[in-house]
């Protein structure tokens, strides 16, 4: 019985015909890299922009002598509260002050419950910023200026967290200190 099944399998396997194509399809026209394209090739979606009008519309982007008296939610720019963000590799510290510099709120990633290396992450900075923003909104602060100092992973996410917490950010200033006399470099590695 077993030999009959084997013979029937051999017969059915031998009857299967497989065709393989071994030649590659030949392209009808070759792509010439040195050919100069026609004028309308690849510019269908291009728009002509009048650069002068764009620059005139963005004139109020840069501060002038009158910028301190511009009103934001009925408050002059110079009287807005300031959120100072101190970003380092190990932690992010937020300080909310009024226009005179009197501290109103302080929060850091360590105060929010993040420990050790997690304090320096961007998620910790964003969470701390959201909590600080909700406390500031509860105190009646809605529009702020932001000053960022330092280099670290939480720079951008801290500003994003302030926006997510309900604060309107008018300006972002980078106050990172620059060392004009940096420390001596390491000695060259011996090979």
> Residue 169 has what pLDDT?
92
> Residue 66 has what pLDDT?
80
95, HSE (Cβ side, Cα atoms, 13 Å):
12
Measured from the Cβ of residue 135, the count of other Cβ atoms closer than 10 Å reads 15
> Residue 180 has what pLDDT?
92
Mean pLDDT by 10 residues, the chain (191 residues): 58 53 58 61 56 69 77 87 93 93 93 90 93 93 92 90 91 91 92 84
Per DSSP (E only), the strands in the chain are 71-72, 75-76, 81-87, 92-97, 103-108, 143-149, 168-174
Contact 70, 77 (CB under 8 A): yes
Break the chain down into helix, strand, coil percent, rounded to 5.
30, 20, 50
DSSP-derived pairing of the beta strands 92-97 and 103-108: antiparallel
> Residue 39 has what pLDDT?
58
> Residue 13 has what pLDDT?
52
What is the DSSP secondary structure assignment for residue 27, as one 8-state letter? P
> Residue 14 has what pLDDT?
53
The domains found in the chain, sorted by start residue, are 69-174 (3.30.420.80)
């Amino acid at each position: 019985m077993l030999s009959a099944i084997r013979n029937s399998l051999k017969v059915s396997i031998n009857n299967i015909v497989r065709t393989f194509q071994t030649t590659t399809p030949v392209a009808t026209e070759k792509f010439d890299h040195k050919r100069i394209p026609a004028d309308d090739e690849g510019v269908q979606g291009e728009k002509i922009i009048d650069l002068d009008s764009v620059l005139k519309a963005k004139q109020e982007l840069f501060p002038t002598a009158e910028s301190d008296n511009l009103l934001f939610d009925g408050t002059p720019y110079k009287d807005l509260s300031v959120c100072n963000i101190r970003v380092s590799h190990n932690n992010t510290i937020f300080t909310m002050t009024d226009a005179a510099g009197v501290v109103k709120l302080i929060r850091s990633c360590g105060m929010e419950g993040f420990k050790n290396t997690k304090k320096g992450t961007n998620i910790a900075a964003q969470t701390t910023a959201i909590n600080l923003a909700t406390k500031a909104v509860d105190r009646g602060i809605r529009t702020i200026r932001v000053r960022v100092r330092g280099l670290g992973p939480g720079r951008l996410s801290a500003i994003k967290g302030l926006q997510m917490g309900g604060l309107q950010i008018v300006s972002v200033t980078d106050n990172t200190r620059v060392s004009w006399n940096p420390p001596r470099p390491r000695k060259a590695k011996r090979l």
